[in-house]
C-alpha cells in the first residue's frame, strides 16, 4: 500500500458499494518498488481478491462516506 493511504489507528478503507468501510491493518514490512515508490506491506483481515482499497489520502475519510472511485492501473489486489 502507498504509505499515504494508511490512516491513524492502523486503518485503511475499502470501497464497498460506493462507500468507504474502515478496516484494521497490521504493518508487516516496507518495500521500494522498481519505480522508486516506498510502499508499506500490510496484512488486512476480511479482504478478498478484487476488493478495492482507497489508495489516496482523504482529509475526512470515515466509514459510510460516499465516493466515486477512479480506476487506476494497479487497482486490484
Over residues 34-51, the pLDDT tens digits come to 999 999 999 999 899 999
Enumerate the domain spans of the chain.
Answer: 3-53
| 64 CB-near residues (< 8 Å, 6+ apart) | 19, 20, 21
Picking from 36, 44, 42, 34, the residue whose alpha carbon sits closest to that of residue 1 is 42
pTM of the model: 0.81
Picking from 26, 64, 75, 66, the residue whose alpha carbon sits closest to that of residue 46 is 26
Whether 1 and 40 have beta carbons less than 8 Å apart is answered as yes
pLDDT in tens, the chain (77 residues): 999 999 988 999 999 999 999 999 999 999 999 999 999 999 999 899 999 999 888 888 999 999 998 876 654 44
Amino acid at each position: 500500500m502507498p504509505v499515504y493511504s494508511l490512516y491513524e489507528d492502523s486503518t485503511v478503507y475499502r470501497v464497498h458499494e460506493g462507500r468507504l468501510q474502515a478496516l484494521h491493518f497490521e504493518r508487516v514490512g516496507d518495500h521500494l518498488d522498481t519505480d522508486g515508490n516506498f510502499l508499506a506491506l500490510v496484512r488486512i483481515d476480511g479482504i478478498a481478491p478484487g476488493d478495492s482499497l482507497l489508495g489516496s489520502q482523504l482529509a475526512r475519510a470515515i466509514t459510510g462516506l460516499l465516493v466515486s472511485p477512479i480506476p487506476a492501473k494497479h487497482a486490484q489486489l
